[in-house]
Structure 1
Amino acid sequence: MTSVSPAPTTMLVPDFPFSYDGWLRHPDGLGSLPPERAGTPVAVVGGGMAGMTAAYELMRLGLRPVVYEAEQLGGRMRSVPFPGQPDRVAEMGAMRFPLSARSLFHYIDLLGLRTSPFPNPLAANTPSTLIDLGGVRHTAQGVEQLPDVYQEVAAAWEKALQERAELATMRDAVRRRDVETLKQIWNRLVREFDDQSFYGFLATSSAFQSFRHREIFGQVGFGTGGWDTDFPNSLLEILRVVYTEADDNQVAIDGGSQQVPRGLWEHRPRDCAHWPAGTSLASLHGGTARSRVRAVARDGDGFLVTDADGHRERFAAVVYTPHVWTLLNRVTCEPALLTAPLWTAVERTHYMGASKLFVLTDRPFWNDTDPRTGLPVMSMTLTDRMPRGVYLFDDGPDRPGVMCLSYTWNDDSLKMATLSAAERLDVLLEKLGVIYPGVDIRSHVIGDPLGITWESEPHFMGAFKSNLPGQYRYQRRLFTQFMQRGLPQGQRGFFLCGDDVSWTAGFAEGAVTTALNAVWGVLDHLGGATPPGNPGPGDLFDALAPVDLPYDG
């Protein structure tokens, strides 16, 4: 199916409820620059979703973005084709996208990409889900078909959110884009829950006094499945996801998510300032991005960027999109690049790990009917065993199938980290053999497995950021770093963005929206302005700014 019309809700994050999708859609455009700034080079470090968004919009403004990429365009939107089957891919990073991600869908629609419902556990489009907890298994199409204890857990989660986090009011305000209500309630919740972990919230809620209920909730969770690997994280991280329905109504991008950043690299917008018709990011770069950045230094009122090939170039501004930890050990940079409070925020950043293992199968055999039960021989699987989550993708009965045999986080990911892909396959098939004793999965596997562990990827060192309790102040520093009006010249012109800088790390929407913050920052830094009828995030910052918690006391 094609991308759908705007959903009833959007990822209007209550910390900073700026309507990025409206800013993008406005017919007056994002802004304009003084004529003498046309063609000014701006370095964009990183070719993931944030980097491609920033570079694409800077090009449209008439600047010359110069993209540096350490590995391949796409970042964690990495779609790896199976050998011999280039149209069947393993989504190593981002693979499911909520319809509420309206800024991301602006670009998905621009590129004409097609989407299809993602087979999440117990979703309407998922034929069946098997839950294996403590060796006891239940198969269902919806939560209503599960035993009473699961209904109790679902009701407990809803009750906790309604009673302690004003779920109904906040979701209604997000849908109506009622900024006043969002800010009023959220600012109070930030003060109340900044120091509270996800697990602490559950354990202190009257609805979750039973440890058994908390354990089941950790396994089954909501939306995309179990959330116990998130239990140590700040409750605020979870509330943002819930309020904006980021964990519901998710779709996959047919052919792979990497088509979005790569598509922006090749796309030729019709409304570029300064550049002739037919200009694309690829054409500005001669088809190839620059190699990885080795060093960034301030140079007068600009910046000197050195890449791995030894090439040095001066820029009026730099947009930096990789994980902020790379500033600590992958890129040589002087302390003056950021203020001391920002360096502290970078140091305190916490990343979650994640591992995946994919195999290609001769056909989607899991749809075969078990004659004893009348159910499919395999289902989308949630288990407390090592695989944790098993996802099944088919493109018709006569086409090869794709299995994500394991999708794990944090401690569960570390259990995989020291194993090769082949070793992981052996272990996972052994575990799944206990859950599905009559199914010979290996006999259907074609070729070698494809796997990844994001915490061991040298240019990532983790899947995505997730704040721990008490880290709101650090997150605020990173997110608001694009606001540089009034700062001394020596502190301006270097802009952080990416999903780890956003309030919704792990979602491509956060990469897009913080990239747009950086675009506004560059525009403002170089003397440009937004149209009067289409103010940008910096223009409305004072009215929408995240609550500033006291530092002392």
Structure 2
Amino acid sequence: MSPEQPPVTAFGPDFPFPYDDWLAHPAGLGRVPPDRLGTEVVVVGAGIAGLVAAYELMRIGLRPVVYESSHLGGRLRSQPFEGADGIVAELGGMRFPRSSTAFHHYVDLLGLPTAPFPNPLTEAAGSTVIDLHGRTYYGRTLADLPPFFTEVADAWASALEEGAGFTDLQQAIRERDIPRIRALWAELVEVWDDRTFYDFVSTSKAFSDLSFAHREAFGQVGFGTGGWDSDFPNSMLEILRVVLTGCDDDQLLVVGGVEQVPQGLWTRTPDDLVHWPAGTSLSSLHGGGTRPGVARLHRLDADTIRVTDVYGGTRDVSAVLTTCQSWLLSTQIDTDESLFGQEVWMALDRTRYMQSTKTFVMVDRPFWRDVDPATGREVMSTTLTDRLTRSTYLFDNGPDRPGVICLSYSWMSDSLKMLPYPVEKRVELALGALRKIYPTVDVGAHVIGDPITVTWESDPHSLGAFKGALPGHYRYNRRMYCHFVQDDLPAAERGIFMAGDDVSWTPAWAEGAVQTALNAVWGIVAHLGGSTPPDNPGPGDRFAELAPPALPD
């Protein structure tokens, strides 16, 4: 990027609203009538979406009441290794694009340090090994690899130009040219909603001019964040959003663990509170702990929803925000069918979650930095492979501190292969695969402490890692995303809001969870008779101007 070029940010393309500017404006996000100050608003779920919304509602002068059935932080979960100080395994989100400016607003607010994520073929990784079809390739940059891999990368770039006019649309996003973004994106929505990622790749001239082996390598090891084949069945629109907004590039990690973000929002005492006394935090409003999980959501009258927790406690409120995975509203929480219209229920139930497994070990030191005298290379590198480990990442916490290896990060069918096995078996399988790539390296000899693993589809409160929209799902996504604007809804369907990455256009990215949380804040304030400052209009104020393209039913 030249110095004159504005950066790529997560500005649209579906709803090009400047969330970062809205957050940074000194006038604040909104206000409610004096008689509404202190009003309770239930927030179901203490993940990043729930806690961003609760934090901002508290600042406005409302009283968020957060319910959580599992873990404060949701899928931003940094699990410490026993006996180690600040050494964590990032079980959920672990890499956060610099373009995620609304999410980074809260990282910066909390003063949390970040560092480049060690993605393949980046300076942060140091070196990368690609192991494909039993052959191993080493490099620090793409130019170090055989020409075959450059051909794959070039074909992907050409396919994006050919099929999506990538440069023009990304330039419009850089410049925040709303009319241009909306015009270009509406054309792509119509063309690509009902077509898969694989269709996009396989029918592009760039890949058609090459061999099947090129497409296969792109799926198995890819570039940027790794292989793409687990996304091949997904709607191509979902992939376009990722690359257009820079989500697959220039990613950061949060030093010490990303769970510090939701935990920090829980305990932070803002200095610009309305209504509440100085020193108030979400934690203090709750007496130190969230309320238990929600068991039932029931409409009492036009202005009242009763929330019942798993122990039978009830609370009657005018507004509820649900941030849990959408399937839980029909399987784990007894939710009145009348709270949502049937078209919204269809969208919620059709949400499709992707499987994902990670397995981590702590090691005595970052031994992979040792140099093999025979080759002059590091003894081990960030690794992409077609073996069952798929992706292996190395986290260096300093020469005098233990290191962490994400032995395996796998998706969909590769995750399901791990589902029946305990952590010890998963480690054994991963070490066995790595031994074939690094036959002279005894990774196991460096392992200390107990390994850590997660399979998100087996978590009863998650049922999967995140949404993966299938072809034809654009209409469903639009119904869920736009639900925060409720002026045209029947009275029986108002007052309940949704947020989270599965409601967003960019599942798997914390930015999507934050943006939908901010939408819900606007919706709740409006529902309670409040408004935004005239010089800082919110997403609902500009909805008619910015609304996502609508496809015919």
Same fold (TM over 0.5): yes
- CA shift for structure 1 position 86: 3.4
**Partner of 2:89 in structure 1?**
90
For the pair 1:338 / 2:337, whether they are aligned, the reply is: no
SS across alignment from 2:92 = coil
**Partner of 2:305 in structure 1?**
303
| Letter of the structure 2 residue corresponding to residue 388 of structure 1 | R
| Letter of the structure 2 residue corresponding to residue 463 of structure 1 | A
**Partner of 2:471 in structure 1?**
469
Where does 1:51-200 land on structure 2 (aligned, <5 Å)?
51-200=50-199
Paired with 2:300 and 2:9, the residues of 1 have a C-alpha distance of 41
- CA shift for structure 1 position 346: 1.0
Q: Deviations over 1:108-137 (max 9, x none)?
A: 010000001100000122110000000011
| Letter of the structure 2 residue corresponding to residue 244 of structure 1 | T
| Letter of the structure 2 residue corresponding to residue 395 of structure 1 | N
Contact preservation (8 Å) 2:221, 2:386: no
**Partner of 2:349 in structure 1?**
347
Paired with 2:378 and 2:64, the residues of 1 have a C-alpha distance of 51
- CA shift for structure 1 position 486: 3.1
**Partner of 2:447 in structure 1?**
445
For the pair 1:458 / 2:457, whether they are aligned, the reply is: no
**Partner of 2:268 in structure 1?**
267
- CA shift for structure 1 position 437: 0.4
Paired with 2:6 and 2:398, the residues of 1 have a C-alpha distance of 28
Paired with 2:306 and 2:502, the residues of 1 have a C-alpha distance of 25
Contact preservation (8 Å) 1:422, 1:448: no
Q: Out of 412, 415, 420, which is 2:414 matched to?
A: 412
Q: Out of 473, 487, 490, which is 2:489 matched to?
A: 487
For the pair 1:357 / 2:359, whether they are aligned, the reply is: yes
Paired with 2:158 and 2:115, the residues of 1 have a C-alpha distance of 32
**Count of aligned positions:** 546
| Letter of the structure 2 residue corresponding to residue 100 of structure 1 | S
Paired with 1:511 and 1:180, the residues of 2 have a C-alpha distance of 25
**Partner of 1:539 in structure 2?**
541
SS across alignment from 2:428 = helix
Paired with 1:499 and 1:400, the residues of 2 have a C-alpha distance of 33
- CA shift for structure 1 position 466: 1.2
Q: CA RMSD in A?
A: 0.9
**Partner of 2:247 in structure 1?**
246
| Letter of the structure 1 residue corresponding to residue 465 of structure 2 | A
- CA shift for structure 1 position 7: 7.5
Contact preservation (8 Å) 1:128, 1:140: yes
**Partner of 2:522 in structure 1?**
520
**Partner of 1:31 in structure 2?**
30
Q: Deviations over 1:431-489 (max 9, x none)?
A: 11111100111110002210000011000000000100111000000101111013222
| Letter of the structure 2 residue corresponding to residue 62 of structure 1 | G
| Letter of the structure 2 residue corresponding to residue 343 of structure 1 | W
| Letter of the structure 1 residue corresponding to residue 536 of structure 2 | N
Paired with 2:166 and 2:126, the residues of 1 have a C-alpha distance of 29
Paired with 1:335 and 1:128, the residues of 2 have a C-alpha distance of 53
Contact preservation (8 Å) 1:7, 1:99: no
Q: Deviations over 1:311-349 (max 9, x none)?
A: 101111000001101011110111101100011111111
**Partner of 2:551 in structure 1?**
549
**Partner of 1:222 in structure 2?**
223
Q: Out of 374, 377, 398, which is 1:375 matched to?
A: 377
SS across alignment from 2:153 = helix
The 4+ residue runs of structure 1 with deviation greater than 2 A are: none
Greater mean deviation of Cα atoms: 508-517 or 212-221? 212-221
- CA shift for structure 1 position 171: 1.1
Q: Deviations over 1:255-303 (max 9, x none)?
A: 1000000100000011111101111000000001001001111111111
Paired with 2:119 and 2:422, the residues of 1 have a C-alpha distance of 27
Paired with 1:394 and 1:114, the residues of 2 have a C-alpha distance of 15
Report % sequence identity. Answer: 56
Contact preservation (8 Å) 1:353, 1:454: yes
| Letter of the structure 1 residue corresponding to residue 267 of structure 2 | E
Paired with 1:352 and 1:94, the residues of 2 have a C-alpha distance of 14
Paired with 1:169 and 1:72, the residues of 2 have a C-alpha distance of 42
Contact preservation (8 Å) 2:29, 2:538: yes
Contact preservation (8 Å) 1:9, 1:245: yes
**Partner of 2:43 in structure 1?**
44
Contact preservation (8 Å) 2:363, 2:447: yes
**Which segments of 5 or more consecutive residues in structure 1 lack a partner in the other structure?**
1-5
Paired with 2:221 and 2:328, the residues of 1 have a C-alpha distance of 34
Taking structure 1 as the reference length, what is the TM-score of the superposition? 0.98
**Partner of 1:530 in structure 2?**
532
Contact preservation (8 Å) 2:95, 2:117: yes
Paired with 1:424 and 1:72, the residues of 2 have a C-alpha distance of 24
SS across alignment from 1:181 = helix
Contact preservation (8 Å) 2:163, 2:200: no
| Letter of the structure 1 residue corresponding to residue 138 of structure 2 | T
**Partner of 1:403 in structure 2?**
405
Going from structure 1 to structure 2, the CA distance change for 1:7 and 1:291 (only over 3 Å counts) comes to farther
Q: Out of 311, 315, 330, which is 2:317 matched to?
A: 315
**Which segments of 5 or more consecutive residues in structure 2 lack a partner in the other structure?**
none
- CA shift for structure 1 position 220: 2.4
Contact preservation (8 Å) 2:97, 2:248: yes
**Partner of 1:3 in structure 2?**
none
Paired with 1:406 and 1:350, the residues of 2 have a C-alpha distance of 23
**Partner of 2:286 in structure 1?**
285
Contact preservation (8 Å) 2:38, 2:61: yes
- CA shift for structure 1 position 395: 1.5
Paired with 1:507 and 1:374, the residues of 2 have a C-alpha distance of 38
